[in-house]
Amino acid sequence: MVSPIAPNSLAGLPSATAIERLKHDGYNELPSARSRSLLAIAWGTVQDPIFLLLLGGGIIYWILGDFQEALILLGFVLFLMGIGLYQEGKAEHAVSALRDLSSPRALVIRDGQRSRIAGREVVREDILVLAEGDRVPADAIVLSCINLSTDESLLTGESLPVRKAAAVGNSTEMARPGGDALPFVYSGTLVVQGQGTAQVQAIGAQTEMGKIGDALQNVKPELTPLQQEMTRLVSRLFGIALLLCVSIVIIYGFTTGDWLKGILAGITLAMAILPNEFPVIVTIFLALGAWRISQKQVLARRASAVETVGAATVLCVDKTGTLTLNQMAVQQLLSYKGSENYDLAAHPHDPLPEAVHELVEFCILASQRDPFDPMEKAFKQLGDRYLAHTEHLHSDWRLLREYPLSPHLLAMSHVWQSADSKQYVIAAKGAPEAISDLCHFPPQQQKILVAQVSEMAAQGLRVLGVAKASLLAAPTPFLPPHPSIHPNHLPDQQHDFSFQFLGLVGLSDPVRPTVAAAIQECYTAGIRVVMITGDYSETAQTIARQVGLLQMGAVLTGAELDHMSDAELSQRIQSTNIFARAIPEQKLRIVNALKAKGEVVAMTGDGVNDAPALKAAQIGIAMGQRGTDVARESAALVLLDDDFSSIVQAVKLGRRIFDNLRRAMAYLIAIHLPIAGMSLIPVLFKLPLVLLPVHIAFLHLIIDPACSIVLEAEPAEASVMQRPPRNPKEPLFGRKTLGLAVLQGSGILVIVLTIFIVALYRGQGELDARALTFTTLILANLGLILSEGSASRLSLKILRSPNPALWWVIGGGLFFLAIVLYVPFLRQLFSFSFLHPIDQAICLLGGALSLVWFELLKQTAKLRS
């Protein structure tokens, strides 16, 4: 048995009660996989191949009786585990923050006021306000509704929507999902029609969804295409690396007879060439990229969108709320009663003329009592300001029936019954052509109306028509001879009423101040901007001029679009940037036509009908504030503030993320080449070993944070939005990128190998040669990090970079290098000799030559591109 419905339930719960119930009952969410603990992250690090190789090397040194070497390797194990914990913890924190952001929202009534909260914060006995396109956040009983239907296929498997009715009585037993005319709605179901209010009866695991939701705990996130590509690449390289390592062990063992050192050489080579960092770097970059985008008010619902958004070539955007503030205000009133056009902006403090009073009254009567729509809010604010009896209209009159807007008739009507049941009026508002159709305008009057609408729309106003009808004044055959009319006796269509045209209302919606600059930034970046709006052509063109949106050809209207074939649309879409009087269903045709031309489309939407277009676009972008749950779930990105400039920031960040990811991968290839070479060449030519496991571990202390921390945090290039979008089919490792990385790595290998051979040739000994070679390799590695930080800037300019992680890694690398070179105990563990000033000069020269080589390669590549 559910809780009785309190008489004052529509006032909602007091906030204090809601907070207390949230503490007692917990959040309204299904049990899900928890964030990984530090122990779980540490266990994942232990399973890393590098960790296992270090552990194996330590065991071999222990067997050889070299306890100091074994202990130093164990120390590096702890260091690498610490880096892993930091990296993974940062990624987990980012994912957790995104999980909170992506929580479905709910509109509830608390303390008598409507509040939009996270769905997980809904508590028992909360009053939900449901509208078309919303996802129901909890199991609830319907208190009131108008044409309310929900899709319960998620629970029942039945695809047909289920009609709802308001509950009768003080308490009702919750029934199972399915069946028409029941007063229950269920968590996870979709409102596909109408609106209503409902009182929450069950949350979280107690809902019908919760009873069948245990399996959700085992759902694993899918790998992105890029991650799958990295997995395949790593698998192949791992096989090659394993074969080389076994070969080295066998060759060294047979040629020298020292099998233990042969195993150490094999382990060293494995640590040098195993590509275990590749998939880790991709995962971290995508997770942190999604988190960074969320800081710009854009929520990435799918990690793949982070890498895709930077490749957008076309941005299709709505006008209202995206280019404009969606804070509408009535600016002009054109009354047909007195043929008077009244401009409120010109008379801000004067009372309204009597001639427009009726026009304002019926604007309000054609709207919701407590409006949420910006236009309806503007009507109510106008009435509250100028009409003393506005509250009387809404408090005493009874709404008998609502005729909603439809794609076939862009008008809606409310049938009202007066308090004394002696008067019945119908108030209609909508597109002027739809209202004139309801009023049966003759052609000449239609022509006059079109001219008046065009004049108002040319001023950037959104124009609506208003009409009225009276049942008693014009009796119709369908009405029975009874003083009180039942809603079921009303006609099915608005056309059955005899409407009288009252006039036109012009509303203004200011342009967002950031839009003009953002659109110019799009054009500089080679991105085309297309406006798709339901407004008139004149209004759309006015807004386009205000924001600087280029109009290549004529405006294409929704009516013209309906009469076009796909071939004709394919031709027109190349020169059309403004689509006016378009309905949401037509967005799908526009998106498909653009995709057929090879464009990468980013598409904004907010309604249920926008969902197919959002799914069809490569980057669907849902409105976070005014968008429906259906639209948000169909989109890859959610625009939390509905601001167009946030989309542009997401594109900029997407380009930055891809650039930095490519640099990180190129860096890994470049630095592994000399490490692998210096591990392999001495073995093949029977020279003293240069790199031992302890040296590779030291290098990883620089390589790992350089990839996942330094290069990930690098700011975007100054020219990132001054170049055309990249080809989405362009591989991460193109020939140019791979070739540049190989040349960089080969340059380091030649320099360090030269220093090593010259040192041996001069008879300096194994320890001297190893110290010189390793120091040069470290300095060249730090120079490579500086160089990879930018594809265009000189490294000396990067020194002014605001990336603090760069200085931590470079400073830390130099500090630890100095320690192992000049602290006797550590110098002995690393098998180094003391470096004199002349030796330091040689190493610095080698590092400087490496940096010059990197910059020459970078500038050459820049000139060729």
Residues known to be catalytic: 318
Q: What three-state secondary structure class fits 658? A: helix
- For residues 364 and 383, the answer to whether their CB atoms sit within 8 Å is yes
690: which 2 tokens? 């240069």
Cα dihedral 151, 153, 154, 155 sign: positive
Other residues' Cβ atoms within 10 Å of the Cβ of residue 739:
14
Candidates 779, 801, 830, 699; CA nearest to 83 is 699
Other residues' Cβ atoms within 10 Å of the Cβ of residue 761:
9
Cα dihedral 34, 38, 39, 44 sign: positive
Q: What three-state secondary structure class fits 624? A: coil
- For residues 505 and 467, the answer to whether their CB atoms sit within 8 Å is no
Place of tokens 């009053």: 127
Residues 817 and 639: their CA atoms lie apart, in Å, by 47
Q: What three-state secondary structure class fits 340? A: strand
Length, in residues, of the chain = 865
What does the DSSP 8-state code read for residue 336?
Answer: T
Count Cα atoms within 13 angstroms, Cβ side, for 73: 26
Terminal Cα distance for the chain, rounded = 73
Give Cα separations from 779 to 767, 773, 844 (angstroms). Answer: 18, 10, 7
Residue-wise burial string across 16-49, b where 16 or more C-beta atoms lie within 10 A, e elsewhere? ebbeebbeeeeebbbeeeeebeeeebeeebeebe
What does the DSSP 8-state code read for residue 104?
Answer: P
- Cβ-proximal residues to 241 (8 Å cutoff; 6+ apart), any chain: 269, 270, 273, 274, 275
Q: DSSP characters for 566-622?
A: HHHHHHHTTS--EEES--HHHHHHHHHHHHHTT--EEEEE-SGGGHHHHHHSSEEEE
CA angle 378, 385, 321 (to 5 degrees): 15
Other residues' Cβ atoms within 10 Å of the Cβ of residue 201:
19
Residues 460 and 317: their CA atoms lie apart, in Å, by 17
Candidates 466, 541, 545; CA nearest to 501 is 466
Other residues' Cβ atoms within 10 Å of the Cβ of residue 746:
15
Place of tokens 């179901």: 189
Candidates 174, 507, 195; CA nearest to 345 is 507
Count Cα atoms within 13 angstroms, Cβ side, for 673: 21
- What are the helix (H) ranges across 65-152? 67-101
Place of tokens 């008008």: 411
